[in-house]
Amino acid sequence: MKIFISISLVIVLLNLTACSSQLTSKNANNKSIPTITDIDLQYASQKARQKNKNLMIVYQNDNCSSCKQWLANLIDKQQTDKILQHFEIKSVSLQKGIDVICPSGIELDNEEFFEAKGIEGDLSIVFHNDIGEVIFTYNEQPNNAELKKLLHYIKLKKYQEDIEYDDWHYQQS
């Protein structure tokens, strides 16, 4: 009987470990990006702002191996600590979706939110201001140089100066 209970306990612990590992994207250094299924954008953005950070949400296709690799690389680079100093990063599965409470109080399901905010493709990166409004959507997998410029643009709040990212990016090149 003790053996049966011990084996059952081990199986339960293994299942719990497997479930928890599915909820975050982790790398070998044990850094992780939490995967979320619902969010109050205003609350999450204000919490990020309290830490002097911007909210960055990565929407990814679970069936896209290059998306998974990109996200794993994001948390595995030397620049990760620098990124995490300025950005609160969350991940959303495009297959599982997300229920969103917008800053206006309107609740949207994932399809409504994706359409309203221009989220498309296998990987999208969405940045929010301190009240939860979408300030920028990037619908590609940026290489390291592009990601660095994109993060710099958001960190410098160039969007507040009505400078379009493409124009600013061109000036920087």
Rounded Cα–Cα distance for residues 32 and 89 (Å): 9
Instruction: Look at residue 25 in the predicted model and tell me its pLDDT.
Output: 42
Give the model confidence (pLDDT) of 98-141 as tens digits.
Answer: 888 888 888 888 788 888 888 888 888 888 888 888 888 888 88
Q: Which of 66, 40, 18 is nearest to 131 (CA)?
A: 40
User: Can you tell me the mean pLDDT for 159-164?
Assistant: 77
Residue 89's H or E segment, with its range, is strand 87-93
The closest of 32, 6, 148 to 79, measured between CA atoms, is 148
Give the tens place of pLDDT for each residue, 8-66.
333 333 333 333 223 334 433 445 677 888 888 888 888 888 998 889 888 888 888 88
Assessment of whether the complete model's pTM goes beyond 0.75: no
Determine contact, residues 88/58, Cβ cutoff 8 Å: no
* Fold annotation for 32-172: Glutaredoxin (3.40.30)
Higher-pLDDT residue of 162, 108: 108
For position 75, what pLDDT does the model report? 66
Whether the Cβ atoms of residue 83 and residue 89 lie closer than 8 Å to each other: yes
Higher per-residue pLDDT: 148 or 11: 148
